[in-house]
Structure formats: structure tokens, C-alpha cells
Structure 1
Amino acid sequence: MIKPLFYKLNDEKRRKLEADLYQIFSEKDLITVSVKDIVAVTGISRGSFYTYFDTPVDAYSYVFRKVLIRVHQQMMGANAFGSVRQFIESMDKNPDRDFLKNYYTVNEMILEANGESQMITTGEENLHKWMVLVSIHELIRRYFLNPGDKGEILSRLSSLEEWEKENS
């Protein structure tokens, strides 16, 4: 749980803590990170960490939601498939690459085991739209698990786009 005192931090301190947590979780996954690692990088005391979060998973979940929102905002556009294609094709230059790689290779399973779904939905999706969104997210996940399969993944994205057009 993210504790209320975290939200009472002044903006500068909270942004610095967010940036430090982002750095840590870009370098370490939830299996290898410890509170000791977090306090060493952030410069906060162990007690302060527990004043803001119950566990490293809580700190990660907070930062991950920020990353998800930023990534989704960057991908907003008239053509979702084109945005996803560009996202995958430019991943080598993406500043979120290491953070997302840790998510897809390790952290996603840990969050699911903890019962924390990270899929952002508006609650208004119909089944067709939901299937497309889940398929797109699965292709992105497959890219991080097997970056060498980028060509095949982009081909499947094109097939999904064709299917979506035919079934809209």
C-alpha cells in the first residue's frame, strides 16, 4: 500500500523519490531489489521508506502506473497499430526500455501472483476492442521476451490490424 504521507511530500521531494525509484526499478527487478537498495539510492531512511510504502512491490506499482500512463499517452494517436509499431521499432532508443524489460521478463509475474493486474481499462470497452487491446499488449510482451522476433511480432501486429478492420 502507498501510504497517505507519501502524497503529502512536497512536489520536489516526491519527484526526486519517483525518479530514484524509476532508476532502481530500471536496473533491478522485484526479485533482486531490497529496501536496502532503495534507501541507498534514494537517500531516505529505512523508516521513511516504510512511512511511504509497505513493501518494494508497492513502490514499484506506484512508479509502474506512472510509466504506463506516460507510455499510453505517447502512443495516443489516430492509428493505434501505427503507434504500437513505432513503439516497438524504436524500443532501442526508448528511455523506458530497461524498466519495461524488467516488467515483462520478471515483474509482471510477481504482480500477477500478488493479485495486482496492471491493465488499464476505461470500463467501456466492448469485447472486440478488449480482444484487440489484449492482443496488442501480448505482442509487446513477446517483443520484450524475444526481441530477436521483432519482424514476426510486427507481422502479427499487421495481421491483427487487418483482422480489426475486417471485423469492426
Structure 2
Amino acid sequence: MSLKEEKMVSTTFNNLSDEKQTKIRRALLKEFSSEPLATAQVAPIVKTAGIARGAFYKYFDDLTDAYKYLYGVAMRDIHSEINNETGGQFQPQFYLDQVKAFVQGARDSEYFGLIKMHLMKNESLISQGSVDPATVTAPEWATMILSHEAIKQIIINPDSQARVMNHLSDALNLLAGKEHA
């Protein structure tokens, strides 16, 4: 679920105090958690953050740039708690644990509304870095696609978690050459 950032946030933004950056991130989070990117507006962000509209455009090129920045922050925060070391072998349980950890990390984070909105409304609007299938094994590539879809279904419909995780487990075990775990 990584987001390819086409541009880093401006140097001007990076030079702000931590407190001011946090205030702006919270304003972005409020807007992007409640409004799809297509209908989000700068006005509520600058009002909540207590900054001038011109300052917003010194920090970000546009709303999409601000969205990509914030979504990148959310993904880094959630993924920082997840172990990405596979040990060099395709292990279905490892990937199941990763999906569970991501879903739980998303649920426990301040970014849950943003992530849910992203998966429901914004994902198709944002270019994301995709993995070239030539750089990973077929089971790894399939696992990435299946894991992303499982996360999406669980975040959007939490009641589906047990069913989705069972299907994911079955699919990963098939990819590993096992009929059932």
C-alpha cells in the first residue's frame, strides 16, 4: 500500500516548527478524512490550520500534492510498526500477519478516516507506485495484490474481516503449494 510521492513537501514547510507542521497536518487530516479529494477544498484547511491561503500554496502545489504528502505520512507511520522481513521464503502466515498488523495499525491510528476515504473514493485518483512483476516472484506479486484487496475490503467493511482473512489464507496457501494450512 505504498504511495509514490512525485514531489516532496516544500522546503518552506519543512522549515516550519514541529508545532505548526502538526497543526497543518491535522487540518489536512480533518478535510481529507471527511471529503473525497475531488470535493476537498483549501478554505477549510487554511481556516482550521490558521494559515493564509497563500501559505498553503507555499507548502504544497495543490490539494493533490497536500493529499499525497499526508497519505505518505500516514503510510509511513502505520508501516513503521510492521515487520517487513520475510526471511527469504514465501510464508503465507507472514503475509497474513502483515495484513492483520496493517489493519489493526490503521484502526488504532488517527489516520483511519483518511485511509478509509482513500480506499473508498481517492485511490483511483492518485497515481501509486506499483511493483514491477519482473522484480518479484509470481507468488510475491500475487500476494501484494491480494493483500491490498483484503485490506481494502476489511477497512471498508469491518464485519467482513474473518471471511476475508480466511479467503486470503486459502489463496496464500495455494500460492505456497499447500491445499490448506
Say yes or no: TM over 0.5.
Answer: yes
Task: State yes or no: 1:97 paired with 2:112.
Answer: yes
Aligned to 1:160: 171
Decide whether aligned partners of structure 1 residues 137 and 91 sit closer, same or farther in structure 2, where only a CA change above 3 A counts. Answer: same
Aligned to 1:129: 140
- 1:86 Cα deviation after fit: 4.7
Decide whether aligned partners of structure 1 residues 89 and 104 sit closer, same or farther in structure 2, where only a CA change above 3 A counts. Answer: same
Aligned to 1:5: 12
Decide whether aligned partners of structure 1 residues 119 and 41 sit closer, same or farther in structure 2, where only a CA change above 3 A counts. Answer: farther
Is there any run of 5+ residues in structure 1 with no aligned partner, and where?
none
Task: State yes or no: 1:22 paired with 2:37.
Answer: no
Distance 1:93 1:12 in 2: 22
- 1:98 Cα deviation after fit: 1.1
1:75·1:84 contact (CA, 8 Å) conserved in 2? no
- 1:56 Cα deviation after fit: 0.9
2:28·2:45 contact (CA, 8 Å) conserved in 1? yes
Q: Secondary structure at the match of 2:48?
A: helix
**Which AA in structure 2 matches 1:106?**
K
**Which AA in structure 2 matches 1:39?**
V
1:85·1:157 contact (CA, 8 Å) conserved in 2? no
Q: TM-score, normalised by structure 2?
A: 0.74
2:147·2:168 contact (CA, 8 Å) conserved in 1? yes
Pairing partner for 1:61 from 46, 49, 68: 68
Q: TM-score, normalised by structure 1?
A: 0.79
Aligned to 2:52: 45
**Which AA in structure 1 matches 2:143?**
V
Q: Secondary structure at the match of 2:80?
A: helix
Identity of aligned residues (%): 25
Decide whether aligned partners of structure 1 residues 92 and 66 sit closer, same or farther in structure 2, where only a CA change above 3 A counts. Answer: closer
